[in-house]
DNA sequence: ACCCTTGACAAAAACGATTTTATCATACAT
DNA sequence: ATGTATGATAAAATCGTTTTTGTCAAGGGT
């Protein structure tokens, strides 16, 4: 049903090869201007658009980029996706999304699938290092840009928030507001999270506050926090936004108000999901909005996509590693 | 660099045609079992996977489905996307996403782009009727399933929440709780929203409450609401979750508490985005969680994707219109 | 008068699969 | 002995492009 180049050529009484040259505005080959006009006119009239699959086969490029992320249901990745879709669209690329669900096998499967579907490049947010060999191999076949993640040993481009700086200025803000005993809540298992922790420690050092291992926990551990609070071992908390609701519940249990009794700053905008009445009550302890570190998610997506497309277009993408640090912002 | 069928064939000392038959498990053609074994072994050893682009060209199917939605940044579409990605992945399909941003031209562009990239089917959430002719045409070329939207005149499948029922049971809940003067806040411009309004009116009728045009507004209009409230013309409100924050601000201005002074039920889970301290304060008027109508978003995505893939596989998809109503739930 | 360029176009190859059509022994029936 | 199945495989066509190579007449230079 759809109109092929052959149809245009036949109607314009010309060979398909010439038609192709004309429709691709190839002026290197000399042609009668009238012929050019005629072919273009016919193509327009028939509403011809080149079949991207055939084109992809011949050209070995599909104007498609693969996007592989852990999940699509958090606002964090959504904004990144949006940024990616925006610039991809501007540059006439289309994006194939896959959701790895933090599952190494699924990630592997998607990578293979994208590759043999001929994507021109891949954007990925990957944490576990399990597919590192595969990623290295892929990195030699198509450009690869990592978003909000860092895989030691893969020589590619990385676009990440400056997590160290973010945690640094967040912690500094707590100190500025008078904090002296700061508790850190958050994982350190992967590079970006380790950076955050390092930023936290750096701020402590710069402001001559001694770091104590006792004031550091991976998860929001109610019992530990309870002890620290009741023994007045801490006056403030720097915490990942993911844990904000659990934290508030703990604080409420101890009848503490923010910021009078305890100061809290979060990495990422705190997200209050209020499922129950208790959740709504819990919010009442927040007397002032908490300062938080905002990641430029949209910009991160945009930037990563720009870099990828740049690499696709130039074809230069091997043997260089670059880490683009996006500027976090302190929001009060 | 990647290994082609030709490479496998050469290594197994066989023609590509036979290799293809073997790797596709075509038993209609008689072959020496030993040859089959050998070819499969070689293919496995070389790590051969068929080039999906070439395959797509020859077979005219790409195992790709197009997904076109207005935006990717609201939790509503995110869950739908997730559902779609899940079932697509299970069925070995891959998803090409596009974001129309409520823009007719962008929608048109994406539809064309997806089509000529050879997607096997399209899932779309479309509101404005502007691309209706294009959609009709597409509907004859590949299966088309609408998600959470309805376009009069396009003979395709629709997967939507039973909006009428949702609004009906939501309103009924308000009435059950003693409401007699209910205000409706929400647009009616598109089919799904009109259904909601109809459900609201139906509930009023069934419970012998007269509908008054004065208690109906498209947006959350502060002035109007203020008047209705201060004149005690209403005791409850049925409202789209999108407007919950503006509504709370108005209610707070009048110093009203939920549900003591005014009952509120929402369509979709109320989403409290608390940007400022005022926002947090505003939540304090909510003394009890509000009842709300929950749409089965994930299931909607799954269902739509299942239907689409079913149609792709059977090839039967023309000249029937079906509207699948997903069951909304009342949450208290 | 002969060779060379060039303008204008056509034919064919290539991309990597799948599928239809051929080849060519051997075996079997008549 | 001749024609026809059939088993096992190869060759060629096809999908719709792009690109390389070919054709062929007109014009220019010596």
Identify the pLDDT of residue A129.
74
Give the side-chain half-sphere CA count within 13 A for B120.
26
Alpha helices (runs of H) in chain B, residue ranges in sequence order: 5-12, 16-23, 33-46, 52-59, 75-90, 104-116, 132-141, 163-176, 191-206, 222-230, 244-253, 277-283, 297-314
The residues facing B69 across adjacent strands are B99
CB atoms A141 and B1 under 8 Å: yes
A289 CB neighbours in chain B (<8 A) are: 274-277, 280
Q: How far is the CA of B14 from the C1' of D5 (A)?
A: 25
How do residues A246-273 score in pLDDT, each as one tens digit? 899 899 888 898 888 999 999 998 877 7
Please indicate if any CB of chain A lies within 8 Å of the CB of B231: no
Chain A, window 121-180: residues with a beta carbon less than 8 angstroms from a chain B beta carbon = 140-141
Closest CB from B53, B72, B140 relative to A85: B72
A82 CB neighbours in chain B (<8 A) are: 71-73, 99
Residue A78 · residue B79 · CB < 8 Å: no
Separation in Å, CA of B35 to nearest CA in chain A:
26
Is residue A299 helix, strand or coil? Answer: helix
Residue A305 · residue A147 · CB < 8 Å: no
For residue A106, name the pLDDT band (cuts at 50, 70, 90): very high
Q: How far is the CA of A20 from the C1' of C16 (A)?
A: 21
Q: How far is the CA of B2 from the C1' of C23 (A)?
A: 32
Closest CB from B53, B86, B280 relative to A118: B53
Separation in Å, CA of A84 to nearest CA in chain B:
11
Signed CA dihedral, B134, B136, B139, B141: sign only: negative
Query: Average pLDDT, stretch A232-236?
Result: 92
How do residues B284-332 score in pLDDT, each as one tens digit? 888 888 999 999 999 999 999 999 999 999 998 877 899 999 999 998 8
Q: Is the CB of B15 under 7 A from strand D?
A: yes
Q: How far apart are CA A239 and CA A253, in angstroms?
A: 18
Q: Which residue has the tokens 């020859």?
A: B58
Q: Is the CB of A60 under 7 A from strand C?
A: yes
Query: Does residue B277 carry a pLDDT above 80?
Result: no
Buried/exposed A175-197: b ≥16 CB within 10 Å, e otherwise: beeebeebbbbbeeeebbbebbb
Is residue B122 helix, strand or coil? Answer: strand
When scoring A97, A284, A331 by the number of chain B Cβ atoms within 10 A, the one with the most, hence best to mutate, is A97
Nearest nucleotide (C1') to alpha carbon of B3: C16
How do residues A8-18 score in pLDDT, each as one tens digit? 999 999 999 99
Give first-to-last CA distance, chain A, whole Å: 59
The residues facing A304 across adjacent strands are none
Query: Does residue A63 carry a pLDDT above 80?
Result: yes
Neighbours of A332 (CB within 10 A): 10
In chain A, % of residues over pLDDT 90: 76
Please indicate if any CB of chain A lies within 8 Å of the CB of B82: yes
Residue A55 · residue A20 · CB < 8 Å: no
Q: How far apart are CA A84 and CA A159, in angstroms?
A: 12
In chain B, % of residues over pLDDT 70: 99
Maximal CA-CA distance, chain A: 90
Q: In terms of Cα–Cα distance, which of B147, B153, B112 is closest to B129?
A: B153
Q: How far apart are CA B5 and CA B22, in angstroms?
A: 11
Identify the pLDDT of residue B178.
93
Q: Which residue has the tokens 């990616």?
A: A84
Q: Which residue has the higher pLDDT, A318 or B307?
A: B307
Q: How far apart are CA A193 and CA B311, in angstroms?
A: 45
For residue B269, name the pLDDT band (cuts at 50, 70, 90): confident
Maximal CA-CA distance, chain B: 90
Q: Which residue has the higher pLDDT, B145 or A273?
A: B145
Is pTM, for the whole model, over 0.95? no
Separation in Å, CA of A232 to nearest CA in chain B:
27
How do residues B102-115 score in pLDDT, each as one tens digit? 899 999 999 999 99
């Amino acid at each position: 049903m759809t109109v092929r180049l052959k149809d245009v050529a036949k109607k314009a009484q010309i060979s398909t090869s010439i038609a192709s040259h004309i429709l691709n505005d190839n002026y290197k080959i000399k042609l009668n201007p009238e012929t050019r006009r005629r072919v273009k006119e016919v193509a327009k009239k028939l509403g011809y658009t080149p079949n991207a699959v055939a084109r992809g086969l011949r050209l070995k490029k599909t104007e498609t980029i693969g996007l592989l992320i852990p999940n699509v249901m958090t606002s964090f990745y959504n904004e990144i996706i949006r940024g990616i879709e925006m610039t991809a669209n501007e540059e006439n690329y289309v994006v194939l999304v896959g959701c790895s669900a933090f599952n190494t096998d699924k990630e592997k499967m998607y990578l293979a699938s994208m590759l043999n579907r001929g994507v021109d490049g891949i954007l990925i947010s990957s944490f576990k290092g399990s597919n590192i060999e595969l990623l290295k191999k892929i990195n030699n076949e198509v450009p690869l840009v990592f978003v909000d993640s860092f895989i030691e040993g893969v020589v590619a481009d990385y676009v990440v928030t400056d997590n160290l700086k973010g945690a640094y200025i967040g912690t500094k803000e707590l100190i500025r507001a008078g904090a002296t005993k700061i508790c850190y809540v958050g994982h350190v298992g992967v590079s970006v999270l380790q950076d955050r922790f390092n930023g936290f420690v750096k701020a402590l050092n710069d402001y001559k506050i001694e770091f104590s291992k006792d004031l550091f926990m991976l998860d929001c551990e109610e019992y530990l926090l309870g002890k620290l609070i009741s023994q007045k071992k801490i006056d403030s908390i720097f915490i990942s936004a993911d844990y904000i609701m659990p934290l508030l519940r703990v604080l409420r249990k101890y009848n503490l108000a923010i910021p009078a009794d305890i100061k809290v700053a979060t990495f990422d905008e705190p997200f209050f999901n209020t499922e129950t009445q208790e959740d709504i009550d819990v919010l009442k302890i927040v007397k002032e909005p908490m300062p938080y570190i905002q990641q430029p998610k949209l910009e991160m997506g945009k930037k990563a996509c720009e870099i990828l497309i740049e690499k696709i277009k130039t074809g230069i993408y091997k043997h260089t590693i670059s880490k683009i640090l996006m500027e976090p912002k302190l929001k009060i």
